[in-house]
Amino acid sequence: MGVHVSGGRWKYKTDTVTVGENSVVVRQLTVRERLQFANASKAVKEGKLEPIELPKVVLQAGIEGLSDQESLDMPADLVDAAVNRILELSGIRDEKKAPAPEEEAATH
């Protein structure tokens, strides 16, 4: 696990997620990004957002410079692993096995 410095003031926990031949560096979410995740989770529960959109919200926040197209082109197993690790680093999910974000949103 490493540390990412943003703007020179704050340091964020980072980690490299590897699935098969693919790797991506992820970082913990900021407060603003956690609020965006919470709002997206609420929108999923209310039927205002498709559950498949929730991982994209997490990925684009937790992976620096990831475009919409890149998030859609990522292998699904890498998406699952990256989203889980971002949420773990952010304190949203326990590091033990937990449901995927769309499953989590549907159960809360």
pLDDT, one tens digit per residue, over 4-55 is 655 567 889 999 999 999 999 999 999 999 999 999 999 999 999 999 899 9
Where is 42: in which H helix or E strand?
helix 31-45
- CB neighbourhood size of 68 (10 A): 10
Q: How many domains does the chain have?
A: 1
Q: Give 3-state DSSP helix, strand, coil % of the chain, rounded to 5.
A: 50, 20, 30
Q: Which residues pair with 11 in a beta bridge?
A: 5
- pTM, to two decimals: 0.80
- How far apart are the C-alpha atoms of 99 and 18, rounded to whole Å? 19
* % of the chain residues with pLDDT over 70: 80
Angle 96-97-100 (CA atoms, 0-180°, nearest 5)? 130
Domain that holds residue 23: 2-107
> Token pair of 59, please?
């990925």
